[in-house]
Amino acid sequence: MNPDLSEKVVHKIETICGLGCTQVNQLLEKAGNGNEIEELSDFSHSEVKQIVDELGKIMSVYDTDDGDINTGFK
């Protein structure tokens, strides 16, 4: 994980990851579609971008060539 992220951002990323892949992918899909992300309403625009970017990187580990997981952040 990016060492420059604030503790607040890191904690939120860890909390979201703890919800499981389906929840993370749903959040990433919302972000990719430009929808508001209720779970991140307490964060600034730049923090939301950091969280979404980091979650996209984390989920890329699970990305497959056949497109089973579509986060919109390839």
Q: What percent of the chain has pLDDT over 70?
A: 85
For residues 2 and 9, what is the distance between their CA atoms, to the nearest angstrom? Answer: 10
Domain assignment present for 2: no
Domain assignment present for 34: yes
pLDDT band at 65; cut points 50, 70, 90? low
Domain assignment present for 48: yes
Residue 71 has pLDDT above 80, yes or no: no
Domain assignment present for 36: yes
Domain assignment present for 74: no
> Mean pLDDT throughout 5-30?
96
| Owner of token pair 């600034």 | 44
DSSP 1-36: --TTS-HHHHHHHHHHHHT-HHHHHHHHHHHHTT--
Please state the domain count of the chain.
1
Residue 74 has pLDDT above 80, yes or no: no
pLDDT band at 2; cut points 50, 70, 90? confident
What tokens were used for 21? 């892949």
